[in-house]
Amino acid sequence: MKRLILATRNAHKVTELRAILAGAGLDVELVGADAYPEIPDVKETGVTFAENALLKAHALARATGHPAVADDSGLCVDVLNGAPGIFSARWAGRHGDDKANLDLLLAQLSDIADEHRGAHFACAAALALPDGTERVVEGRLEGTLRHEPAGSGGFGYDPVLQPLGESRTCAQLTAEEKNAISHRGEAFRALVPVVRELLG
């Protein structure tokens, strides 16, 4: 069985991709970066989601000698020309402060009318082999931004993005409902033929 490493210490991401690969009948042993605690996290110095995903996947593939997958994602707001984008997790200045990021975004959009509040979650997922071979796939979840947060599920900007065709925000969906339409789920599902092609 081929080993594939996912560049994350988030157990939920590992479980999600493992289920997608197993559901596609791929005989792959998927482990997270926790399996290699001696390898430091990679700095995300790219200027696109794809560049950041590739940086992480290549670093892990080189360090371990195994194929590696990495993803990078964020919120892209139409009237902000795609921002916060790659800066989604540190939009308010401190990395990972979800409430501060959300509060700042809502303040910036406070006078923007409903018809101009289009946005999408974007995710790039990269697969890199130790020999330098690489592939990138992408997923998107289109929606509009609410004026106030709603729901307690999810994280990040989930409480304000309402997917197209939905009356609820991402934070009001069940985990199963969200995984079925999420940008990361879409990108991970798009990886299946890539894994099949490159890992056999």
Task: Name the phi and psi angles at 154, rounded to 5.
Answer: 65, -160
Q: Which residues are catalytic?
A: 72
**Of the candidates 128, 2, 25, 144, which has an alpha carbon nearest to the alpha carbon of residue 71?**
128
**Structure-token pair, residue 110:** 């406070």
Mean pLDDT of 114-143: 98
Q: Which residues pair with 125 in a beta bridge?
A: 71, 137
Using only C-alpha atoms, what is the Rg of the chain?
Answer: 17
Q: For each of the domains in the chain, give its residue range(s) and CATH number, in order of start.
A: 2-199 (3.90.950.10)
13 annotated ligand-binding residue: yes
At residue 154 the predicted structure's pLDDT band, cuts being 50, 70 and 90, is: confident
98 annotated ligand-binding residue: no
10 annotated ligand-binding residue: yes
Residue 34's pLDDT is 94
Task: Please state, for a pLDDT cut of 90, what percent of the chain lies above it.
Answer: 91
Residue 33's pLDDT is 95
Q: Give yes or no for residue 9 having a pLDDT over 80.
A: yes
Q: Which of 11-20, 47-56, 143-152, 160-169 bottoms out in mean pLDDT, i.e. has the lowest?
A: 11-20
Task: Name the phi and psi angles at 103, rounded to 5.
Answer: -60, -45
Which residue's entry shows tokens 């800066």? 87
At residue 175 the predicted structure's pLDDT band, cuts being 50, 70 and 90, is: confident
11 annotated ligand-binding residue: yes
Cα end-to-end span (Å), the chain? 10
Predicted TM-score (pTM) above 0.85: yes
Give how far Cα 49 sits from Cα of 3, 18, 58, 171, 184, Å: 24, 22, 14, 23, 12
42-80 pLDDT, tens digit each: 999 999 999 999 999 999 999 999 999 999 999 999 999
